[in-house]
């Protein structure tokens, strides 16, 4: 049987400063990540954007990386998907998927550049 891996790698901008909660041995930073995708359909270009909920857990002595989770920071995020289900006070069931960041680091913004032209010089025989 083939192994199915629950993982993702995505880049996006932090939507707002992270909300950090400290517990006895670990801390969690929760933040939104603005991601987008551009699709070209002939002459038309469509851009789809979304805000994803992300959480990152660290031991309390290793939370210095949370300092970069501020609005507008471009991040590369690696992690896994965590489904959550709950029932509210009215008995209505809810669910969502949270992106759990196992690694995140500032990304370098790259500009779109045209593909390099192939050299058309002939090589000797």
CATH of the domain at 73: 2.40.50.140
pLDDT tens sequence across 24-35: 999 999 999 999
pLDDT tens sequence across 36-69: 999 988 889 999 999 999 999 999 998 999 999 9
Q: Is residue 116 part of a domain?
A: no
Q: Is residue 115 part of a domain?
A: no
Q: Is residue 73 part of a domain?
A: yes
Q: What gap in Å lies between CA 5 and CA 107, rounded to an integer? A: 24
Residue 48 tokens, joined = 């789809």
For 54, other C-beta atoms within 10 Å of its C-beta total 24
Number of domains in the chain: 1
pLDDT tens sequence across 60-106: 998 999 999 999 999 999 999 999 999 999 999 999 999 999 999 99
| The total number of residues written for the chain in this structure | 125
Pairing of strands 26-41, 44-59: antiparallel
Q: Is residue 78 part of a domain?
A: yes
**Residue 53, domain extent:** 8-38+46-106
pTM, two decimals, is 0.76
The residue that leads in pLDDT, 123 or 41, is 41
């Amino acid at each position: 049987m083939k192994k199915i891996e629950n993982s993702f790698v995505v880049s996006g901008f932090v939507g707002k400063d992270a909300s950090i909660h400290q517990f006895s041995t670990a801390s969690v930073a929760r933040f939104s990540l603005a991601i987008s995708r551009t699709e070209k359909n002939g002459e038309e270009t469509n851009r789809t954007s979304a805000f994803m909920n992300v959480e990152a857990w660290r031991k309390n002595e290793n939370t210095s990386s949370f300092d970069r989770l501020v609005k507008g920071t471009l991040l590369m995020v690696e992690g896994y998907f965590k489904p959550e289900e709950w029932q509210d006070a009215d008995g209505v069931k809810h669910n969502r998927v949270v992106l759990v960041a196992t690694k995140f680091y500032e990304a370098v913004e790259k500009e779109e550049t045209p593909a390099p032209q192939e050299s058309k010089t002939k090589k000797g025989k």
